[in-house]
Amino acid sequence: MATFQLPGKKIILMYEKIENQFSWCKNISILSYGLFFGMGAIKEKLNLYRAIYEDRIEKLLKNLGSFLSKHPTKTLICCTIVNLLLAPGILNIEFQNDVETFYIPEDSKSIKDRNSIESLYGDPTGSNFAPYQLTRQGLYGDVLIVSKDRSSIMKPLYINEINSIDAFIREKILVEDSEMRKFRHRDICALGRSGCEVVESILLSPKFQSDFVTGNVTFPVYNKISLNSLLAKPVSHGGVFSGTHDRR
């Protein structure tokens, strides 16, 4: 009730109604102050616990440093023994370089759909390989051919060099598996109708190389094969390949 000395009962009654109607505001104010002081007490306790924790850690590290300074030889010997005991574990390390494993969840819809496809259809790389049939990212290497002087490679000399690089990859390069067994390209290549398949092997065919040197390669399609992805920055005139852009 408001304690105002005002003339007239009507005015006093009006203030009483207002006070009764908004009395809940007092309760909220008291509750707010209670929460405020309660949070302050919790914060003080947290600060106290943190100070105790930091003090104990500081004492622990101080004692550790003191022990190491007093017994350097024993410490060095113990560390060496522990490292020698754990060293054989290096042989069991397995390296993971699959980008899919790093970035795609195992239970993703794409993984489930791919597993379903692989369960229905076999692996074609052993007898009937085609790039568009692959459900996983292929393990392959791209070979980029660029002349040393940045001139056109549409010359017999460069064609012979390309064939030499192809022969070197097929016959000279060896790879090893986890059991240290060695393999050549022909032992692990994907097989097709003509043996080991090379994606876009049209570049290695004698007919293409002959037309390439004489300037008779049609572009962008040659013998029903698109050349857009095979030649860097190609230039054509009248539907015939004439070279590439040279940007040094």
25, pLDDT greater than 90: no
Is 90 a member of any domain? no
Same domain, 57 and 121: no
Triad 15, 19, 23: Cα angle to 5°: 175
Same domain, 115 and 175: no
Same domain, 164 and 222: yes
Q: Tell me the pLDDT tens digit for each residue of 42-74.
A: 777 788 888 888 989 999 999 988 888 888 898
Same domain, 162 and 237: yes
Same domain, 168 and 197: yes
Is 2 a member of any domain? no
Is 146 a member of any domain? no
Question: What is each CA distance from 200 to 39, 45, 164, 227, 240, in whole angstroms?
Answer: 71, 71, 17, 9, 19
Range of the domain at 118: 99-133
pLDDT interval class at 82 (50, 70, 90)? very high
Is 48 a member of any domain? yes
Specify the pTM. Answer: 0.49
81, pLDDT greater than 90: yes
Mean pLDDT of 151-165: 83
Mean pLDDT of 114-143: 77
* SS3 state of residue 240: strand
pLDDT interval class at 24 (50, 70, 90)? very low
Same domain, 103 and 81: no
Same domain, 237 and 160: yes
Give the separation between CA 168 and CA 137, rounded to whole angstroms: 25
Same domain, 69 and 108: no
User: Total domain count for the chain?
Assistant: 3
Is 93 a member of any domain? no
Is 140 a member of any domain? no
List, in order, residues 6 or more apart from 155 with CB less than 8 Å away: 213
Same domain, 46 and 80: yes
